[in-house]
């Protein structure tokens, strides 16, 4: 009898084990099929009634954009939509690549113009700064900014962690490219901190006062995960020489990273141009001679064209910008107009670090569109500076910046034509980031 029971148990074990193996085998086969045949992957088809090309400044009617696994796989008027694909109807909208801002400080907020930027080091942790950055990143993504270049003032590499968290898929956010800590001559962007307080600006800056120190600082930023290198050169009476700028450019370019430099004008800006930096940030005091030199050398201008209302709120006494808000705003418009007329390569960047009442970071960034209008820049050129041209400066043009097969599906849509009125970018009603729909306002 015992032998009979043992035989029954052995038979049952073989049957149960065999069924498990069969089930596992079927699951394994399904996974293999899902991987081997793209048809199993989720496909999205966007019906674009008006497809905007920011490079050519043209619109193509009734196109289909096929998106799969986060990338655009096909674009055209006769693209076949696969069975089972999700179809998004933007046939009455204007569809274009996602916007880019090349000069942001997502984790920073100017607490008080009276006590300067140093106050934030003493009142907020790096973790809090990263959380602010996440909030701002999500706000700007919903407004249509799918790529952001963050150029320092982010505590102890908080923007690097922000970028990594978004890239890991923990949070939805734009593509973030970050400079890490800003490289400067001694003192960062602070002014006469009492010696007994110590060099607490080193939370956000790296002191570097010769070519070897600059090379070391570039390598430090690369080690900690920077996507680009940022220097400030004219924050005091001393500024970087041509050779020192070239040291930064050579070191960064060897690692395939671009170099941006904060420079307002004068000899400091000339050294930046001749030293081979990729872009000048701000450049408010650039003369025609220097603008022509920028054009000749191919140096980009990220012009951070503050609207008058922003200047008045940030600097009511004129201590930061060196005069009344009205005069500074007029000078900014004049410089932008001259840069455009001379043919300097322009990229849209804002540098907004404090929100006006009732506005978030995205609202503040979009306020800069009016300045470009006042400078006489056509909507098509402004849009190109916010998309395809920005992608070139950021060195992501092979991945983002236009709508074409093989590029990331960073796509936005507006209810009106931005080539006729650039202000329609304030009305973004659809945002797709890496093939994922972030915003879709179906009603007008």
CATH number of the domain enclosing 55: 2.30.40.10
Residue 201 — pLDDT band, cuts 50, 70, 90? Answer: confident
Task: Looking at the structure, tell me whether residues 416 and 431 fall in a common domain.
Answer: yes
pLDDT for 37 beyond 50: no
- Region 10-23: mean pLDDT is 51
The predicted structure's pLDDT at residue 321? 74
Residue owning tokens 């455009």? 340
Together in a domain, 86 and 117: no
- In a shared domain, residues 302 and 413: no
Overall average pLDDT of the 135-153 stretch: 96
Q: Is the pLDDT of residue 29 over 50?
A: no
Q: How confident is the model at residue 146 (pLDDT cuts 50, 70, 90)?
A: very high
Average pLDDT over residues 121-139: 91
Which letter, b or e, does each residue of 145-177 get, where b requires 16 or more Cβ atoms within 10 Å of its Cβ?
bbbbbbbbbbbbbbbbbbbebbeeeeebbbbbb
- The predicted pLDDT at position 132 comes to 93
Query: Which of 52-56, 82-86, 195-199 shows the lowest mean pLDDT across its residues?
Result: 195-199
Q: Could you tell me the CATH number of the domain that includes residue 138?
A: 3.20.20.140
Average pLDDT over the chain, rounded to an integer: 89
Binned at pLDDT 50, 70 and 90, residue 7 comes out as: low
**Is residue 285 one of the residues assigned to a domain?**
yes
Per-residue pLDDT tens for 411-425? 999 999 999 999 999
Is residue 400 included in any domain, yes or no?
Answer: no
CB atoms within 10 A of CB 408: 22
DSSP string, 107-149: T-----TTT-TTHHHHH--HHHHHHHHHHHHHHHHHTTEEEEE
Is 75 inside a domain boundary? Answer: yes
Number of structural domains (the chain) is 3
Question: Looking at the structure, do residues 377 and 429 belong to the same domain, yes or no?
Answer: no
pLDDT of residue 337: 98
Mean pLDDT to the nearest integer, 84-89:
94
Percentage of the residues of the chain whose pLDDT score is greater than 90: 74
Which carries the bigger pLDDT value, residue 2 or residue 142? 142
Residues 6+ apart with CB under 8 A from 248: 183, 214, 215, 218, 229, 231, 259, 275, 277
The answer to whether 214 touches 248, Cβ cutoff 8 Å, is yes
Q: Do residues 281 and 413 share a domain? A: no
Q: What is the pLDDT, as a whole number, of residue 197?
A: 79
- Same domain, residue pair 315 and 365: yes
In a domain, 350, yes or no: yes
- Across 157-166, 198-207, 240-249, 273-282, least confident range: 198-207
In a domain, 131, yes or no: yes
| Residue 196 pLDDT | 81
Higher pLDDT, 110 or 323: 323
Note the pLDDT of residue 88. Answer: 96
This prediction's pTM: 0.88
Same domain, yes or no: 137 and 56: no
> pLDDT digits over 429-442, tens only?
999 999 999 999 98
Q: Which of 95, 97, 48 minimizes the C-alpha distance to 76?
A: 48
Strand order in the sheet with 346-347: 205-207, 182-184, 229-232, 259-263, 279-282, 300-302, 346-347
C-alpha 153/C-alpha 180 separation (Å) is 8
Angle subtended by helix axes 325-342 and 288-297, to nearest 10: 40
The tokens describing 413, both together, are: 């849509």
Residues 165-188 have a mean pLDDT of 95
Q: Which residue has the higher pLDDT, 266 or 236?
A: 266
Strands 145-150 and 182-184: unpaired
| Helix axis angle, 288-297 to 266-274, nearest 10° | 10
pLDDT surpasses 70 at 31:
no
343 pLDDT higher than 60: yes
Residue 322 inside a domain? The answer is yes
- Judgement on whether residues 87 and 7 belong to the same structural domain of the protein: no
The confidence score (pLDDT) of residue 6 equals 54
Statement to judge: residues 244 and 318 lie in one domain:
yes
Model confidence band, residue 25 (pLDDT cutoffs 50, 70, 90): low
Domain membership of residue 348 (yes or no) is: yes
Domain housing 15: 2-36
CA distance 430 to 412: 5
Query: Do 144 and 269 have their domain in common?
Result: yes
Mean pLDDT across 30-48: 63
Does 83 map to a domain? yes
Do 292 and 372 share a domain, yes or no?
A: yes
Nearest Cα neighbor of 363 from 131, 107, 136, 117 is: 136
Q: How far apart are the C-alpha atoms of 22 and 27, rounded to whole Å? A: 9
Alpha carbon dihedral 54, 58, 60, 66, in 10-degree steps, equals -10
Task: Indicate whether 159 and 31 sit together in one domain.
Answer: no
């Amino acid at each position: 009898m015992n032998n009979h029971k043992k035989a029954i148990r052995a038979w049952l074990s073989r049957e149960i084990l065999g069924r498990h193996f069969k089930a596992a085998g079927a699951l394994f086969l399904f996974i293999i099929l899902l991987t081997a045949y793209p048809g199993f992957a989720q496909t999205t088809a966007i019906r674009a009634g008006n497809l905007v090309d920011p490079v050519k400044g043209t619109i193509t009617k009734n196109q289909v954009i096929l998106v799969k696994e986060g990338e655009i796989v096909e674009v055209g008027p006769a693209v076949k939509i696969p069975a089972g694909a999700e179809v998004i109807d933007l046939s009455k909208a204007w569809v274009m690549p996602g916007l880019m801002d090349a000069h942001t400080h997502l984790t920073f907020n100017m607490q008080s113009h009276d006590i300067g930027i140093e106050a934030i080091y003493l009142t907020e942790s790096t973790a809090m700064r990263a959380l602010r950055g996440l909030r701002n990143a999500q706000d700007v993504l919903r407004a249509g900014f799918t790529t952001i270049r963050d150029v320092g003032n982010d505590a102890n590499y908080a923007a690097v962690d922000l970028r990594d968290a978004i890239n890991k898929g923990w949070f939805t956010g734009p593509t973030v490219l970050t400079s890490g800590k800003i490289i400067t001559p001694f003192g960062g962007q602070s002014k006469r901190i009492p010696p007994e307080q110590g060099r607490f600006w080193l939370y956000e800056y790296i002191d570097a006062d010769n070519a070897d120190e600059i090379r070391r600082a570039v390598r430090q930023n690369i080690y900690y995960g920077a996507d680009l290198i940022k220097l400030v050169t004219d924050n005091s009476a001393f500024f970087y020489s041509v050779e020192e700028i070239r040291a930064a450019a050579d070191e960064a370019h060897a690692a395939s990273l671009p170099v941006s430099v904060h420079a307002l004008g004068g000899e400091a800006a000339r050294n930046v141009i001749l030293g081979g930096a990729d872009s000048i940030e701000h450049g408010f005091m650039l003369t025609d001679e220097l603008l022509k030199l920028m054009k000749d050398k191919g140096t980009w201008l990220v012009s951070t064209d503050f609207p008058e209302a922003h200047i008045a709120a940030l600097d009511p006494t004129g201590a930061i910008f060196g005069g009344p808000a009205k005069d500074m705003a007029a000078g900014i418009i004049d410089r932008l107009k001259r840069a455009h007329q001379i043919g300097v390569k322009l990229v849209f960047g804002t540098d907004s670090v404090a929100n006006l009442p009732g506005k978030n970071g995205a609202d503040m960034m979009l306020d800069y569109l009016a300045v470009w209008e006042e400078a006489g820049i056509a909507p098509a050129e402004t849009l190109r500076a916010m998309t395809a041209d920005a992608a070139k400066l950021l060195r992501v043009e092979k991945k983002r910046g236009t709508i074409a097969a093989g590029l990331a599906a960073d796509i936005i849509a507006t209810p009106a034509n931005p080539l006729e009125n650039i202000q329609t970018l304030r009305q973004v009603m659809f945002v797709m980031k890496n093939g994922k729909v972030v915003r879709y306002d179906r009603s007008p």
